[in-house]
Structures are given as structure tokens and as C-alpha cells.
Amino acid sequence: MKQATRMRSIAALGLALVLAACSAHKAADAAAATKAAEAFMAANAKQPGVVTLPSGLEYKIVASGPADGAHPRASDEVKVNYEGKLTDGKVFDSSFARGEPADFPLDGLVPGWVEALQLMRPGDEWILYIPPKLGYGDEDKGPIPAGSVLIFRVQLLGVLRHPQGAMG
């Protein structure tokens, strides 16, 4: 009986050590990802045509639509074509590739999209450089590792107005 108790204690200690090692490894990975993201954003900010907003969001205008177009509000739904990729060039999602634009409630998107799209007008096409704090932060999201800078080519096709609060 004593032997079985000792074996359970050793197994529990082993499991605790493995979990602690995994936690330390994950913290080191997060620190490395944060450092890499900061370096990318700092270098990117110096590129010609890149605008940096106070939040840290960076964008570059590819094409402009009519100057009298309506800016989306946070309560609106938007129709967009987009392609999302990581800094290594790996595309993780693309409505362009699917050949079909997407409709999204603006207030349901990552903060970087919400901020940028409210500055855009239909017909605008921008490249968004979204730092982790305005994207998915320290969460893994499918093919997107924690701490990733997100790069999106976004073409705003339309703004579908909704009354304030109607998006439930």
C-alpha cells in the first residue's frame, strides 16, 4: 500500500515538473513572439507610405474610393474582400481566393480591423499591419500563432447600415 502511494506521489511530482517546464517554455515563446512582433512593426513603420496610428496600427493605402463615401460605424456591417497572412508570408485566410466577398458585423472583428475600417470608405483598399495587441494577442487562433502580427489586404466594398444596438 505504501509503495502504491509513493508511486502516485512520484507520478504527480513528475506531472507537475512537466507542466512547469511547458509553462516556462510557453512564456519564453510568448516573449520571443512579442519581441519579433515589436521589431517587425518598428521596421515596417519606416517603409514608404506606411501610416502609424497612436494605437500602434499601421496601414498603407493601395487604392482610394470616392471621397464622398460613407465611413462605417462600429455598429455597421461591412462587405469586404480580404487576405490575411503572417509576417512569413503564410496566408491563413482569403476571400479573394474563395472568389466571394465576406460580410461582417464590424463590432465582431479584431480591434485592428474595427479601427481601420472606420477610417476607410467603400472602394478603398489598404494593407493593414496589426500588432498582436490589436489582433489575437497571446492566443493561438487555428493557424495563427500567439503573439502574431497580422497583415491584411482589405478592400472595403460596401457599408450595410444598422441602427445603433440592432446587431444583438
* Rg of the chain in Å (alpha carbons): 21
> How is residue 102 written as a grid cell?
465576406
- The pLDDT value recorded for residue 7 is 53
State yes or no: pLDDT of 13 exceeds 50. no
Q: Going from the N-terminus, what domains does the chain have, and what CATH number goes with each?
A: 5-160 (3.10.50.40)
Q: What element of type H or E holds 100?
A: none
Contact partners, residue 65, CB within 8 Å, separation at least 6? 121, 122, 123, 124, 156
pLDDT at 26: 55
pLDDT at 161: 75
pLDDT in tens, 124-155: 999 999 999 999 998 889 999 999 999 999 99
The confidence band for 33, taking pLDDT boundaries of 50, 70 and 90, is: confident
